[in-house]
Amino acid sequence: MSGTRDSVVEDPTVIVPRPELDTIRSETAADRADESETGGVLIGRRLDDERLFCVAATRPGPNAEHRRAEFSPDVDHAQSILDDYRTEYDVVWIGTWHKHPGEMNRLSDGDVAQMREFVRDPETVDEIVAIVTTYVDGVVKLNPFYMDQTREWRRVDVEFVDGVKEYESELRRGEGVTEPDWEGAKDLRDAESDPNTPDADDPRETREDRISRFSDALDRFFRRR
| Per-residue pLDDT reduced to its tens digit, 151-203 | 999 999 999 999 999 999 999 865 444 444 444 443 423 333 333 434 434 44
pLDDT of residue 62: 87
Q: Give the DSSP H or E segment for 118.
A: helix 109-120
| Per-residue pLDDT reduced to its tens digit, 201-222 | 444 555 566 556 666 666 666 6
Q: Do 207 and 186 contact (CB within 8 A), yes or no?
A: no
Q: Is the pLDDT of residue 119 over 90?
A: no
Residue 36: how many other CB atoms lie within 10 Å: 15
Residues forming a β-bridge with 40:
97
pLDDT of residue 149: 87
pLDDT of residue 198: 40
Residue 63: how many other CB atoms lie within 10 Å: 11
Q: Which of 135, 131, 136, 141 is nearest to 111 (CA)?
A: 131
Residue 148: how many other CB atoms lie within 10 Å: 21
Q: Do 89 and 173 contact (CB within 8 A), yes or no?
A: yes
Q: Do 165 and 15 contact (CB within 8 A), yes or no?
A: no
More confident residue, 122 or 107: 107
Mean pLDDT (the chain, rounded): 77
pLDDT of residue 222: 61
pLDDT of residue 192: 33
Domains of the chain are 13-222 (3.40.140.10)
Band (224; pLDDT cuts 50, 70, 90) = very low
> Residues with Cβ < 8 Å from 25, sequence gap 6 or more?
133, 140
Number of alpha carbons in the 13 Å side-chain half-sphere of residue 52 = 25
Q: Which of 120, 117, 115, 149 is nearest to 132 (CA)?
A: 115
The span from the CA of 110 to the CA of 125, in Å, is 18
What 3-state class would DSSP assign to 140? strand
pLDDT of residue 152: 93
Percent share of the chain, pLDDT over 90: 39
More confident residue, 128 or 75: 128
pLDDT of residue 200: 39
Q: What is the mean pLDDT of residues 59-88?
A: 84
The span from the CA of 206 to the CA of 16, in Å, is 30
End-to-end CA distance of the chain: 30
pLDDT of residue 61: 87
> Residues with Cβ < 8 Å from 155, sequence gap 6 or more?
143, 144, 145, 146
Q: Which of 209, 200, 193, 190 is nearest to 86 (CA)?
A: 190
